[in-house]
């Protein structure tokens, strides 16, 4: 009997979803920021206990551990990277400092962009004194214009080493077409300063990290991978060692922004930035197919952030147009998820600069000290404190009773920081905090759907995260939506999501082909160059899968292309009907696919075939399918009663607490209907059924919440 373990490490909680044979278990533990492996192993131990085995037995039977984390982003925000040297083509040393015109606003919130006059460029990760240019040049076809001056380079290399660098970032012009000079530079570094002299000093080549056109984003992508490499390697190697010591023998698999996964050795920092939200998105697509929901807004409200993503007609193929990591524009394939600082730990405060308005987030209390009600030294009121004061949270049962909640501390924090300055009752202050954060999340949902051309009323919300079920009615109503689905495992939804994912590697390469010439009316006739790149990428994929211990013969391939009309700068990513182009029929079929996807994105009025159609890049997706997982169903409480009585809870401003019925989630039978206001308690979350909403339990034990005014006749 084999098993799987899926881990999602967030800023406040570490979630675990484990399967052993036909049995499943899930749990939440506190994230241990000082050593992520401790919280991770505690989660595995708790899950093993629920499955009736020891953690050693569970790890010994586990075939695969899938892991998503925000470790890379945390390291970047804390500026904990090593001292790096930047090597580029002579004359382009200031490329990273100059950036693009939009660099002033890249990564800033809309609120910050409103005052762009005060915006500053991000602080460089490499000082100008550590940026050197080498005498070498390739042209856009990859032909050598100027050979590498090795003597000049070695002098500059000595200067960088004497300056104390502990890693090198190499980004030469047109190296994605011909990497010969970059490869020679790495060879010279390793010859001159071997591991015995400097220890392990990594060399990061842009031609390997981001083999795409546009040198600025190629450089930033390579730089971020280099900057975060040391901290990620240290943390992940520690996790790997602890897992092996516990009995796990297979590779640790990382969730990627592309919607796929790969082993730690095949993963870069950039690829893992939004692994958690992407896992939730992929899990939602799987559940949507199983439950008959095609259009879904995926929401995950945890302790630190609120993440959303869209599934349209069952597809997750929405990619970020200009992916940004912190303040840096990068060239990486990332599924389009959006995150804001709105979670259970988001801090509420009064902004006296704008007339005493309550603002919630983006700052978070995190897991340490956490909300005031945790009793760990936190003094500022948070969203969780507001939920406790409103009566929505059972203090004796928070996170299964593993964390003691102190309502008096929550009330004091809200009274001192919010209620007293505004002269309102503490319950009104708590409800204002809740409504403000709900309105913020609802506005983001509305914007993300409407700006993509969709009506939010055509979607259903999947509410996930520990705080999601508490706030789902509020942010759904703020977004103008009437249906919410909450699954039994919603508190660990991203961990569940990774359990539905296949092992997927993505390989990219820039290459220019004219698919259709608008001037001559001719189609691409010689497809050998196109197919040669596909074959080269496929061979690389086969080597990587075999190196990870998988059967490369079972890998399935699909192709996406970055395409555009002639004269355009931006591209549209298109799913190619076939992986290789074997004749005129394949070429014309690809053109029709481009027309269809371009029309859906920009309307048929945007089509301009007279300008011709060009291919800018090839993206090969190599997939090894994993056994299909059915959505798990929790065990019903045998002979248990669904009603847990009632307790006071506040639902309206100025109305005070009202006696609100409370139910046990695990005891609710399929077909049960509950009309709000009501509270439904589970081990790791509580579902708040607001006035005007109703809850129905379906045959999968999922809660279907519907706004009464929005019910269909």
For the segment 258-270, what is each residue's pLDDT rounded down to a tens digit?
A: 888 888 888 888 8
Higher pLDDT, 699 or 706: 706
Task: With a cut of 50, say whether residue 376 has pLDDT above it.
Answer: yes
pLDDT at 674: 95
- Model confidence band, residue 710 (pLDDT cutoffs 50, 70, 90): very low
Q: What is the pLDDT of residue 713?
A: 32
| 673, pLDDT greater than 90 | yes
Q: Which residue, among 331, 118, 315, 322, has the nearest Cα to 223 in the 3D structure? A: 331
**Contact predicate 16/7, CB 8 Å:** yes
* Per-residue confidence (pLDDT) for residue 677, from 0 to 100: 96
Residue-wise pLDDT for 484-505, tens only, equals 999 999 989 999 999 998 888 9
Q: Which two tokens stand for residue 186?
A: 């790495």
Collapsing DSSP to helix, strand or coil, 88 comes out as: strand
pLDDT over 60 (residue 198): no
Instruction: Please name which of 270, 142, 140, 144 lies closest in space to residue 214, comparing C-alpha atoms.
Output: 140
pLDDT digits (tens, 9 = 90+) for 387-444: 999 999 999 888 777 788 999 999 999 999 999 999 999 999 999 999 999 999 999 9
Interhelix angle 180-192/150-162, nearest 10 degrees: 50
Picking from 76-80, 223-227, 637-641, which range would have the lowest pLDDT averaged per residue?
637-641
HSE at residue 183, side-chain half, CA atoms within 13 A, is 8
Three-state DSSP class for residue 363: strand
Give the pLDDT band of residue 316 (cuts 50, 70, 90): confident
Residue 634: per-residue pLDDT: 62
pLDDT value of position 635: 62
Would you state the structure tokens that stand for residue 139, as one six-digit string? 């042209």
- Residue 79 pLDDT level (bands cut at 50, 70, 90): low
Q: Which is nearest to 665 in space by CA: 636, 691, 638, 694?
A: 636
Q: Give all strands (DSSP E) within 375-469, no chain letters.
A: 460-464
**With 70 as the cut, is the pLDDT of residue 197 above it?**
no
The answer to whether 615 and 568 have CB atoms below 8 angstroms apart is: no
269-281 pLDDT per residue, tens: 888 888 888 999 9
Lowest mean pLDDT among 74-78, 220-224, 310-314, 642-646: 74-78
Please give the Cα distance from 112 to 660 (Å, whole number).
41
Q: Which domains does the chain have, with CATH numbers?
A: 1-70 (3.30.420.40), 81-233 (no CATH), 503-624 (no CATH), 657-710 (no CATH)
User: What percent of the chain is predicted at pLDDT more than 90?
Assistant: 59
On the question of pLDDT at 228 being above 90, the answer is no
Say if residue 609's pLDDT is above 70: yes
Q: What is the pLDDT of residues 9-30, one digit of tens each?
A: 887 789 999 999 889 999 988 8
**Percent over 70 (pLDDT), the chain:** 95
- 553-607, pLDDT tens digit by residue? 999 999 999 999 998 988 899 999 999 999 999 999 999 999 999 998 888 999 9
Residue 356 has pLDDT above 90, yes or no: no
Residue 640's pLDDT is 53
Lowest mean pLDDT among 70-79, 167-176, 200-209: 70-79
- The mean-pLDDT minimum among 34-48, 177-191, 330-344 falls in 330-344
Report the pLDDT value the prediction gives residue 628, as an integer from 0 to 100.
Answer: 65
Return the pLDDT at 1: 63
Task: Count CB neighbours of 609 within 10 A.
Answer: 14
Least confident of 17-31, 37-51, 354-368: 354-368
Answer yes or no: is pLDDT of 638 > 60. no
Range 84-111 average pLDDT: 87
Q: Which pLDDT belongs to residue 650? A: 96
pLDDT recorded at residue 711: 47
């Amino acid at each position: 009997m084999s098993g799987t373990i899926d881990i999602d490490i967030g800023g406040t909680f570490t979630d675990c979803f484990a399967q052993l044979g036909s049995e499943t278990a899930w749990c939440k533990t506190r994230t241990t920021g000082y050593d992520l492996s401790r919280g991770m192993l505690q989660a595995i131990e708790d899950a093993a206990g629920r499955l009736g085995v020891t953690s050693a037995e569970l790890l010994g039977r586990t075939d695969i551990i899938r892991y998503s984390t925000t470790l890379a982003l945390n390291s970047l925000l804390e500026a904990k990277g090593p001292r790096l040297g930047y090597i580029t083509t002579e004359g382009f040393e200031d490329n990273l400092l100059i950036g693009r015109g939009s660099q002033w606003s890249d990564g800033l919130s809309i609120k910050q962009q409103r005052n762009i006059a005060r915006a500053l460029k991000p602080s460089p990760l490499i000082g100008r004194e550590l940026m050197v240019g080498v005498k070498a040049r390739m042209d856009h076809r990859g032909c050598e214009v100027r050979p590498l001056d090795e003597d000049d380079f070695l002098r500059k290399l000595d200067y960088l080493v004497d300056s104390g660098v502990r890693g090198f970032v190499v980004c030469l012009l047109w190296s994605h077409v011909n990497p010969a000079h970059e490869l020679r530079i790495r060879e010279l570094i390793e010859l001159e300063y071997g591991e015995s002299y400097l220890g392990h000093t990594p060399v990061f080549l842009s031609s390997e990290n981001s083999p795409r056109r546009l040198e600025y984003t190629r450089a930033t992508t390579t730089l971020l991978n280099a900057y975060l490499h040391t901290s990620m390697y240290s943390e992940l190697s520690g996790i790997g060692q602890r897992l092996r010591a516990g009995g796990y023998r297979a590779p640790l698999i990382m969730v990627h922004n592309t919607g796929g996964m790969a082993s730690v050795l095949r993963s870069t920092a950039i690829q893992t930035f939004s692994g958690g939200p992407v896992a939730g998105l992929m899990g939602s697509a799987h559940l949507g197919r199983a439950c008959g929901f095609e259009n879904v807004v995926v929401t995950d409200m945890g302790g630190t952030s609120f993440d959303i993503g869209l599934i349209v007609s069952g597809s997750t193929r929405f990619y970020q147009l200009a992916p940004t990591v912190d303040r840096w524009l990068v060239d990486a394939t990332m599924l389009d998820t959006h995150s804001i600082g709105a979670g259970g730990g988001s801090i509420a405060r009064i902004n006296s600069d704008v007339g005493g308005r309550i603002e919630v987030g983006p700052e978070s209390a995190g897991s340490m000290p956490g909300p005031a009600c945790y009793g760990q030294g936190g003094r500022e009121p948070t969203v969780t404190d507001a939920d406790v004061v409103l009566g929505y949270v059972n203090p004796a049962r928070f996170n299964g009773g593993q964390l003691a909640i102190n309502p008096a501390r929550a009330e004091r924090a809200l009274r001192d920081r919010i209620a007293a300055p505004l002269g309102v009752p503490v319950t009104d202050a708590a409800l204002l905090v809740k409504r403000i954060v709900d309105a913020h999340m609802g506005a983001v949902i509305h914007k993300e759907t409407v700006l993509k051309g969709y009506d939010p009323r055509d979607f259903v919300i999947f509410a996930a995260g520990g705080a999601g079920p508490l706030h789902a009615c509020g942010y759904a109503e703020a977004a103008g939506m009437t249906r919410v689905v909450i699954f039994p495992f919603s508190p660990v939804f991203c961990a569940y999501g990774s359990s539905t994912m296949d092992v997927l590697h993505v390989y990219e390469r820039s290459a220019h082909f004219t698919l259709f010439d608008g001037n001559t009316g001719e189609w691409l006739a010689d497809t050998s160059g196109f197919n040669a790149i596909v074959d080269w990428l496929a061979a690389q994929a086969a080597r990587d899968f075999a190196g990870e211990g998988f059967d490369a013969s079972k890998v399935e391939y699909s192709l996406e292309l970055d395409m555009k009309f002639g004269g355009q700068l931006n591209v549209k990513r298109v799913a190619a009907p076939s992986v290789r182009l074997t004749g005129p029929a394949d070429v014309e079929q690809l053109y029709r696919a481009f027309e269809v996807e371009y029309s859906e994105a920009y309307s048929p009025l945007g089509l301009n075939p007279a300008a011709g159609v060009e291919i800018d890049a090839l993206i090969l997706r190599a997939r090894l399918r994993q056994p299909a997982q059915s959505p798990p169903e929790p065990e019903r409480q045998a002979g248990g009663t669904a009603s847990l009585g009632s307790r006071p809870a506040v639902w309206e401003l100025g109305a005070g607490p009202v006696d609100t019925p409370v139910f046990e989630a695990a005891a609710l039978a399929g077909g049960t209907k509950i009309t709000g206001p009501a509270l439904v308690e589970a081990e790791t979350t509580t579902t708040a059924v607001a006035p005007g909403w109703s809850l129905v339990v379906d045959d999968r034990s999922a809660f279907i919440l519907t706004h009464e005014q929005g019910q269909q006749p």
